[in-house]
Amino acid sequence: MITLEDLRRINARCIHCRACQYAYSGEPDREGETEEYTGMLQGCPAGIYFGWEGYYNSGKQWMARAFLNGEIKPSKELLEVVEACTTCGMCETQCPNYIETVAVTEALRAAVIEAGVEPLSKHKKFGEMVHDDKMRNPYKEPRDQRTAWFGGEVDNFDAKVAYFVGCTGAYRQQHIAEHTASILKKLGIDFTVLTGEVCCGSPILRTGQRDVFREVMEMNLELFKDFDMLVFSCAGCYKTIRNDYPKMSGKPLPFKVRHTVELVYDFIKEGKLKIETPFDKKVTWHDPCHSVRHVGLAIEKEILAQSDNWLMDSRKAEKAKEAHFEVPRVVLRAIPGLELREMYRIKGDSFCCGAGGGVKAQFPDMALATAKERLKEAASTGAEILMTSCPFCVTNFNDGLKSLRAEEAETGQDLSAVGSKLEVVELLELLDKLL
């Protein structure tokens, strides 16, 4: 496991310039469609909501340094500030000094907890449920019901591909799991789902509870080790297994990984798939932080880690990252009739939905305010549909919509300009209907 001490030199690069507080921090003259969405915009959900330095990444980096130097002590108050962060990674994209900001924040959370401070109340409950052998999920659901949604053959270890469903698909948004399984069948992929799958550990790792994370990581790595490929529908599971398992286990993954949207992209690019059914709607796309930004950043770092000439390879790495950001857009453009209307903050600069990093459970007001900020941005494009591919983004946006509509009903005001008339659609759900 990478500790805060291991990240001391990375954290030491922080010069407190505060570029990480903005989207498009390197492009002050950037032109948007409207005056509101133009130039550098605030980009940190925690800083925007709480409004003072400690909540922005720039403050967190300095708290991490002070903690490392023994200048601040572990405390519940410190943990409450550092846990109020969606781990969205907007700050990481902005930092001119290549600081792995999210890794530092997550390691600081873990260090505070390892020093004896109890995890925050909701986070502690996640940890207990994921540690419990009868559950192994943060929803308090029985472990033996994990694959109850699936009509096909489970535990087929002869299949080459396994679909890692994740706790949300297995217990809360089973329609997403069903649509994913249906897409895989339509693509002719021989796959299975496993009854022994357990939580990927994302909410546990993000909130600093590393002992429990290690347990579930090792269980999953052992269970899936002989498959050629793992396919995902959940952005959080995908990022955790793709990016965090190798770092935290110290070993490369024994299987390939692909998100279902990427798999559909592969089929389109190879000319094996053509979407014929039209979808005549104006759509704006929300990049899930975990499957788009974090994976894009990881692709860039992986290329640079292999490089003995950063100058030559940085362009190649940048191009590979940008190509990853294009993946959902290529899929959307392959849908006849769909009119893509981009928001201002997209790709590496995409504004978070507000749900990740344990925030939705522990800081619901921050999560809701952030969802509404993004809904407003989506509405500014004139789109009818806000599309994404992450169960948490979908839930949080729908909560934002509910709140806007309740406000409309109560006040009689028309809030369509800030998003009350939008519809939130999961891309996988749409693809299953169109294929």
Beta strands in 69-198 (DSSP E): 161-164, 191-192
Provide, for the chain, the percentages of residues in helix, strand and coil under a 3-state DSSP scheme, each rounded to the nearest 5. 55, 10, 40
What residue type is assigned to position 294 of the chain?
H
Nearest-approach distance from CB 340 to ligand SF4, in angstroms: 25
Selected range binding ligand SF4 among 84-92, 267-275, 309-317, 374-382, rule: CB under 6 A: 84-92
> Is 81 near ligand SF4 (CB under 6 A)?
no
Nearer residue to ligand SF4 within complex by CB, 233 or 350: 350
Dist CA 146 CA 170 (whole Å):
6
- Residue of 4, 40, 41, 45 interacting with ligand SF4 (CB under 6 A): 45
> Is 216 near ligand SF4 (CB under 6 A)?
no
Dist CA 107 CA 194 (whole Å):
31
Q: Which two tokens stand for residue 296?
A: 């894009």
Residue with token string 């006040």: 411
> Is 95 near ligand SF4 (CB under 6 A)?
yes
> Is 371 near ligand SF4 (CB under 6 A)?
no
Contacts of 412 (CB under 8 A, 6+ apart): none
Q: Which two tokens stand for residue 233?
A: 């529908």
Contact assessment for residue 130 and residue 204, using Cβ atoms and an 8 Å cutoff = yes
Dist CA 371 CA 395 (whole Å):
10
Which residues share a beta bridge with 22? 42
- Residue of 57, 137, 202, 220 interacting with ligand SF4 (CB under 6 A): 57
> Is 90 near ligand SF4 (CB under 6 A)?
yes
> Which residue in 167, 161, 168, 169 sits closest to 185, CA to CA?
161
Nearer residue to ligand SF4 within complex by CB, 204 or 425: 204
Range 305-324, binding ligand SF4 (CB under 6 A): none
The residue length of the chain stands at: 435
Nearest-approach distance from CB 128 to ligand SF4, in angstroms: 25
Nearer residue to ligand SF4 within complex by CB, 99 or 161: 99
Contacts of 400 (CB under 8 A, 6+ apart): 368, 371, 372, 374, 375, 419
> Is 14 near ligand SF4 (CB under 6 A)?
yes
Phi, psi of 388 (to 5 degrees): -155, -175
- Residue of 4, 23, 37, 86 interacting with ligand SF4 (CB under 6 A): 86
Query: What's the number of CA atoms in the CB half-sphere (13 Å) around residue 146?
Result: 22
> Is 58 near ligand SF4 (CB under 6 A)?
yes
> Is 354 near ligand SF4 (CB under 6 A)?
no
Q: Which helix (H) or strand (E) holds 253?
A: none
- Residue of 12, 17, 305, 409 interacting with ligand SF4 (CB under 6 A): 17
- Residue of 1, 8, 19, 219 interacting with ligand SF4 (CB under 6 A): 19
Nearer residue to ligand SF4 within complex by CB, 25 or 260: 25
> Is 194 near ligand SF4 (CB under 6 A)?
no
> Is 66 near ligand SF4 (CB under 6 A)?
no
- Residue of 85, 135, 162, 367 interacting with ligand SF4 (CB under 6 A): 85
Which residues share a beta bridge with 230? 162, 257
- Residue of 68, 78, 79, 99 interacting with ligand SF4 (CB under 6 A): 99
- Residue of 1, 8, 18, 421 interacting with ligand SF4 (CB under 6 A): 18
> Is 97 near ligand SF4 (CB under 6 A)?
yes
- List interacting residues with ligand SF4 (CB under 6 A): 14-20, 43-47, 57-58, 60-61, 85-91, 94-95, 97, 99, 101-102, 352
